[in-house]
Structure 1
């Protein structure tokens, strides 16, 4: 079968990276899967001529859909592309699906004006997202298709190389867009707390390639006020190999990933960190209770309660618990590997 996934933002990470992983999983099963992004926000530069990935304006999308002879077109949270995906009466039939990955009130607002009667169905990555969508699309039962984790880029290490981490320095990491939803300012405030608790820390923020100049200046201004300029490292984009190395460095040094998001639809970065043996100190998000098993590697807190964050930080292990790392890796790799996604996709298509 021939599939086309369409999305507005061609970014490094997030939904865009998830679509690349789904494309690989589907091609490995003998399907053709193309991707279309109506904006290039840095993704094209890291693809190295990868086949089946297109960028362009609305007219480019209409041409691709018309000429591609796709059996299924899946549009992710981009209503302007969704409206152009349905075939005209004289064109070959195709099934058009909506895939919802946003969880914010503003992001979901387009569903309130959506006529879902022409859709083949609605897809979501978690049951948590399914409930959010069902509230807005009466009579629709979304199909849950789990995200695909990159098992090659984030493998389980048999041994942790403690000598790679600076002696006495605890490394912490935060990953996300520099926006209010990801709560980057609160992450800096807690980095200041970590510095007061442990003395010598390294705090790395990953993401924000599309952030405005004003946001970047605000980041360093706040870091300066908090005395973090000698502690903070900002990497606006990064490849998976380097990111996995940072996660392992955090786990090896007694550090953790901080998750300050107000909400998530899945938590890809958090899952990748856990697979590399990096613990989480995370806002107690409902979706994380669905995606992740109970584990000492996950410290759930109310991020608006500083004393809870402090207790979680003090409870971090000084060295990785190899058994806990193995258990959570096995759970995530089996539940969110490419095979699990394909089983769910086939079930949705056959429903």
Structure 2
């Protein structure tokens, strides 16, 4: 394989809505481009020009797989597409891309990722993001299309939790490589006042808060206990959902990356009250990089993300327990800043693209080496077309 690669990236989720997987794919594409590699993204929907520009990409670096439909998946709503029309778009993209390697995200979901897995005739890398034990969708895909899984030359999982889930469903053994952020986009401002937001403490929640597993109600139920000690506490809720009239809570709606980063940079705590099914937690790193202390549910993937060699650099609490959340948040608000913030920043730096990108590229090299001696690609099954 040449030093400069032509890489095809497949994302099953629509770019018409922001999401963790989509942002990761954009970030990876931008890092690969910065290293001299050629990239092309295939996904439903279409990102804005600003999103592409922010990643150092142009309009020709993205191919739309067509419109997506919302389906319930992993306790959330995934916007994906599948079927003959999508299969034709996958076929044409692969035919004209002349890729050295194709990197498919969420390969066993019924989407363009599964279609690309069946049609590609070049080395294949797959990344697993799902953290749903006993996923019927993933299990059914492995049962009905075992040959598709065999097409994967190298597998990545974003956390040990995601790796265990994939392997439990019959997937390949994965190299654990977390999602990444660009730390330089999170300038760390020195805070000289008692509170980062001014004369009152502010905590922030980021996510699609209408989804029960994101746990906003757990946070809201904890507020009365917290306000006994901090009656002037302010809460900002960032993300898509139905705004509610709640005293001391501001629903900002979705913000772009810069707006979200500014919100985190002026937060005295970032609260992640998710109740389960989380495979990583990229916003935890964004908060740490911005200097915002993290208070999070003690989920395996969250603990993995926020722990360094000395243990968690966050206050963790029992998932779904408002009293436990309140106690953890009070502990966080009472802690002196400084060293804790610097330690969180160092943890975030371990997931910067300058660290994660080379790890992914090494997997690409290994996939190319293993594929060179594998069975001819023409013997692989074809899906739909």
Tell which deviates more after alignment, 277-286 or 101-110.
101-110
CA distance in 2, matches of 1:24, 1:161: 35
The answer to whether the 8 Å contact 1:2/1:71 transfers is yes
Residue 337 of structure 1: which of 352, 355, 373 is its match? Answer: 352
In structure 1, the residue corresponding to 2:14 is in which secondary structure? strand
Q: How does 1:8-19 map to 2 (within 5 A)?
A: 8-10=13-15, 11-19=17-25
- After TM superposition, the structure 1 stretch with the greater mean CA deviation from structure 2, 292-301 or 125-134, is 292-301
Taking structure 2 as the reference length, what is the TM-score of the superposition?
0.76
Contact 2:9–2:41, Cα closer than 8 Å, also in 1? yes
1:110 paired residue number: 138
5 Å matches for 1:135-214? 135-137=168-170, 140-157=172-189, 159-160=190-191, 162=193, 165-167=197-199, 169-178=200-209, 179-208=211-240, 211=241
Please, what TM-score do these two structures have when normalized by structure 1? 0.82
Q: CA deviation at 1:101?
A: 0.8
- Aligned counterpart for 1:29 among listed residues 22, 32, 35: 35
Cα shift readout 1:277-316 (whole Å, capped 9, x = no counterpart): 1112211011222222256851111033333222222212
Looking at structure 1, the residues matched to 275 and 207 of structure 2 have their Cα atoms a distance apart, in angstroms, of 9
CA distance in 2, matches of 1:79, 1:262: 23
Number of equivalences: 324
CA distance in 1, matches of 2:277, 2:343: 25
- Identify the residue that residue 2 of structure 1 maps to in structure 2: 6
Query: What is the CA distance between 1:112 and its match in structure 2?
Result: 4.1
1:183-212 CA-to-partner distances (Å, cap 9, x unmatched) read: 23223223444344421122111122xx5x
Tell me the alpha carbon deviations over residues 229-255 of structure 1, each in whole angstroms, 9 at most, x when there is no partner. Answer: x4222233212222222112112xxx4
Tell me which moved more, 16-25 or 257-266: 257-266
2:273 is aligned with 1:259: yes
Answer yes or no: is 1:237 the counterpart of 2:254.
yes
- The residue matched to 2:111 in structure 1 has which SS? helix
1:134 matched residue in structure 2:
167
Instruction: Report the alpha carbon displacement of residue 73 of structure 1 after superposing the two structures with TM.
Output: 1.7
- Which one of the candidate residues 39, 45, 55 is aligned to 2:64? 55
Question: 1:48, CA displacement in angstroms?
Answer: 6.0
Aligned to 1:79: 110
Superposition RMSD on alpha carbons, in Å? 2.6
1:108 Cα offset (Å): 6.7
What is the aligned partner in structure 2 of residue 285 from structure 1? 299
Unaligned runs of 5+ in 1: none
Alignment of 1:308 with 2:341, yes or no, is no
The runs of 5 or more residues in structure 2 that have no matched partner are 67-85, 367-385
